[in-house]
Amino acid sequence: MHPKRPLGKFPGFAAMHKSAPAGRVMRRIGMLFVLWLIRRKPMKAYDAMKTMREDGMPFATANRIYPLFSSMEKEGLVKGKRISGDKRGGKQYFITIKGKDLLAFCREHMRSGLLGEYLRDMVK
């Protein structure tokens, strides 16, 4: 059984319910992963990219990560705060309430139904 909460609060994630191009779904899953990282510890986009690459995720490139952070900030999922003294004008990103709500919603969605069964089986 899928969660009862509507996806209207998270319009970009409606693709998780409908047939959408695989690339779009994978980008949203990547976004969830980055939100999860930021929830654990606020960080700069560069730090997220570095962490992901060190863990064997070669697709975590600057031309993917920086636009992703910008998009998440525009959607209100994260809030960037300029780092004083940073010569490059870097931002430290923090997850927002909306970002936490999205993670909670997707956690429930991914626990249920066939998708949940698949994910549980894959991490045994």
**Count of structural domains, the chain:** 1
- Residue 33 domain boundaries: 9-122
Q: Is the residue at 2 inside a domain?
A: no
Residue-wise pLDDT tens digits, 25-64: 677 888 999 999 999 999 999 999 999 999 998 888 999 9
Residue 97: burial class (beta carbons within 10 Å; 0-12, 13-18, 19+): exposed
CATH number for the domain spanning 40: value is: 1.10.10.10
Q: Is the residue at 30 inside a domain?
A: yes
Q: Is the residue at 46 inside a domain?
A: yes
Q: Is the residue at 70 inside a domain?
A: yes
Q: pTM score > 0.75 for this model?
A: yes
Q: Is the residue at 1 inside a domain?
A: no
Residue 2 pLDDT: 43
Q: Is the model's pLDDT at 101 over the cut of 70?
A: yes
Question: Could you give the CA distance from residue 94 to residue 73 in angstroms, rounded to a whole number?
Answer: 10
Question: Could you give the CA distance from residue 49 to residue 111 in angstroms, rounded to a whole number?
Answer: 27
Q: Is the residue at 102 inside a domain?
A: yes
